[in-house]
Amino acid sequence: MKNIEMYYHKKVLVLGLARSGVSAASLLHQLGAFVTVNDQKPFSENPEAQGLLEQGIKVICGSHPTELLDEGFELVVKNPGIPYNNPMVAKAERLNIPVITEVELAYQISEAPIIGITGTNGKTTTTTIIDAMLNETIAGKSLLAGNIGFPASTVAEDATSDQWITMELSSFQLMGIKTFKPKIAVITNIYEAHLDYHKTREEYVAAKWNIQKNQTADDVLIINWDQEELQGLTKKTAARVIPFSTTQRLQEGAYVQNGQLMFGEEAIGERDDILLPGDHNLENILAAIAVVKTIGVSNEAIMTVLRTFKGVPHRTQFVTEYKGRKFYNDSKATNILATQSALKGFKQPVVLLAGGLDRGNEFDELKPFLKNVKDVVVFGETADKIARVAKESDIEVHFVKDVEDAVPVAYKVSEPGDVILLSPACASWDQYRTFEVRGNAYMRAIRTLTDTDEVEK
């Protein structure tokens, strides 16, 4: 860890806890800052805040009192999930107090170069594949961090200059950077998403594009060349651009030709050797190849990973096969595009489980992808909206309370040879704290179903 002094005896407010907030508060305290933590959850129900208090950090819980900002803070580190129109954040900006997110701190202390991965879909899969390929060469070569579940600043504390930090980055995190600069940046794709937070598509795209804003000609930007919007944006970066494409041959970059995975003129291996299914995952794989070939990873290491990599939890994750039905958990499908991608990957009849947080959009864009869907089980705030689309596609609809109730209903209407797919097309926050919690609830319900069914036989 770099021994920086910029925060010594500075008064810093950490707004919102969760894992990144706890990490930021502890790090700033270690760097000599006068840290105050403010979290909405009551102190008695807040073990994270209790732990920080034991470290000697000032803790204020139960609400976000805007008058707290009158105490002369020089910096606010906010939880990425707190929007900029939050009264605390808005007041801090009016007072010209810098507002950053925890990944900025991670960059400032990190001895290791950073690979930053963002995009609407495929971030986690791409991040995980890159990490696996680097670690296939040397154990510990890559350390996972960021939006993938490992606080970036905690990882950066222990990272050394001969390692890489492979960091998944959300638009929320990237809005709060000042000097953050990945050595290699990746944008997997950009579609319309999170407009409840960003308000406009332009703001959302700008947040994603922030990943390269501090890059120079010594840095690399890996970009999806199949999106004209991203091609156009590359005219505005100082970084060296390396493209990837699933549809066209490239002079430089990663692509597919005659069944071969290619990087420039070099054949990496056979596309048919990839274990991970789905055309959407081919995008993720090509992005990862572009990254690791830039670093110098061998083709053998790349193909070893691609022959064995089964995917990551909650992303079209195969759960089990039971009485001829295959259950898949795609709880990470928090938008329509992700559910479209999941549905494209199956040729068998599908029973689709969908629904969740209502962000104000409709779901008509799902219609062309419902050809193999025989039943839809809907739940959550968007149940009626998704039900309308299914009924207009002549698909049987079943209303349930939540994911747990959806599983036995889906099993009852399914037949041997069917796929039962949780791919909600919505965020989870109306009923579940995270998409992981939702996916785990789905898998528990499957275990309950199969265990009960076995007992009753």
Joined together, the tokens standing for residue 46 give 């807040």
Taking phi over 0 as left and psi of -120 to 50 as alpha, with beta for the rest, 64 belongs to beta
- 179: tokens are 């000097």
Q: What is the CATH number of the domain that holds 346?
A: 3.90.190.20
Q: Do 82 and 42 sit in the same domain of this protein?
A: yes
- Position 196 scores a pLDDT of 65
Considering the domain architecture, whether residues 110 and 33 belong to the same structural domain is answered as no
User: Which of 100, 115, 148 lies at the terminal end of a domain, its last residue?
Assistant: 100
Residue 3 belongs to a domain? no
Confidence at residue 149, expressed as pLDDT on a 0 to 100 scale: 80
Do 116 and 256 lie in one domain? The reply is yes
Say if CB 270 and CB 246 are below 8 A apart: no
Residues 127 and 91 in one domain: no
Which positions make up the binding site for ATP?
Answer: 119-125
Q: At which of 282, 306, 330 does a domain end?
A: 306
SS3 track for 384-445: HHHHHHHHHCCCEEEECCCHHHHHHHHHHHCCCCCEEEECCCCCCCCCCCCHHHHHHHHHHH
Six-digit token pair at 398?
């079943």
Residue 444 covered by a domain: yes
- Is residue 86 a part of any domain in this protein? yes
Contact 175, 93 (CB under 8 A): no
Q: Describe the crossing of helices 47-54 and 18-30 by its angle, rounded to 10 degrees.
A: 10
Q: Residue 2 domain-assigned? A: no
N-terminal to C-terminal alpha carbon distance within the chain: 59
Burial 359-384 (b: 16+ CB within 10 A, else e): bebebeebeebbeebbbbbbbbbbbe
Whose CA is closest to 330, among 451, 428, 183?
Answer: 428
Predicted confidence at residue 197, as pLDDT, reads 66
**pLDDT digit of tens for each residue in the chain (457 aa)?**
998 999 999 999 999 998 899 999 999 999 999 999 999 999 999 999 999 999 999 999 999 999 999 999 999 999 998 999 999 999 999 999 999 999 999 999 999 999 999 998 889 999 999 999 999 999 999 999 998 889 999 999 999 999 999 999 999 999 999 999 999 999 999 986 666 666 788 899 999 999 999 999 999 999 999 999 999 999 999 999 999 999 999 999 999 999 999 999 999 999 999 988 777 789 999 999 999 999 999 999 999 999 999 788 888 888 999 999 999 999 999 999 889 989 988 889 999 999 999 999 999 999 999 999 999 999 999 999 999 999 999 999 999 999 999 999 999 999 999 999 999 999 999 999 999 999 999 999 999 999 876 545 4
Name which of 312, 265, 258 is nearest 293 in CA terms.
Answer: 265
Residue at 349 is within a domain: yes
**Same domain, yes or no: 301 and 354:** no
Domain termination residue (choose one: 306, 339, 367): 306
Specify the 3-state DSSP secondary structure of 275: coil
Q: Determine contact, residues 353/325, Cβ cutoff 8 Å.
A: no
**What span, in angstroms and rounded, lies between the C-alpha atoms of 131 and 236?**
28
Distance, CA of 309 to CA of 305 (rounded, Å) = 6
Q: Is 129 exposed, middle or buried (CB count within 10 Å of its CB: 0-12, 13-18, 19+)? A: buried
Statement to judge: residues 26 and 75 lie in one domain: yes
> Looking at residue 195, what is its pLDDT?
61
The answer to whether position 5 is within a domain reads: no
Same domain assignment for residues 372 and 265: no
CATH number of the domain at 45, please: 3.40.50.720
Tokens of 45: 């129900």
Backbone dihedral angles phi then psi of residue 183, each to the nearest 5 degrees:
-65, -40
- 134 and 277 co-located in one domain: yes
Pick from 412, 325, 337, 334: which is nearest to 369 by CA? 337
Q: Are strands 114-118 and 266-270 parallel, antiparallel or unpaired?
A: unpaired
**Are residue 54 and residue 130 in the same domain, yes or no?**
no
74 and 194 housed in the same domain: no
The number of folded domains in the chain is 3
Domain identity same for 443 and 324: yes
Task: Tell whether 1 is covered by a domain.
Answer: no
Distance, CA of 274 to chain centre? 22
Smallest Cα–Cα separation from 376: which of 365, 367, 385, 387? 387
State whether 254 and 359 are in the same domain.
no
Q: Is residue 312 part of a domain?
A: no
Q: In which domain, by residue range, is 77 found?
A: 11-100
Q: What is the pTM assigned to this prediction?
A: 0.81
Closest alpha carbon to 11 in 107, 92, 104, 111: 92
Residues flagged as binding site: 119-125
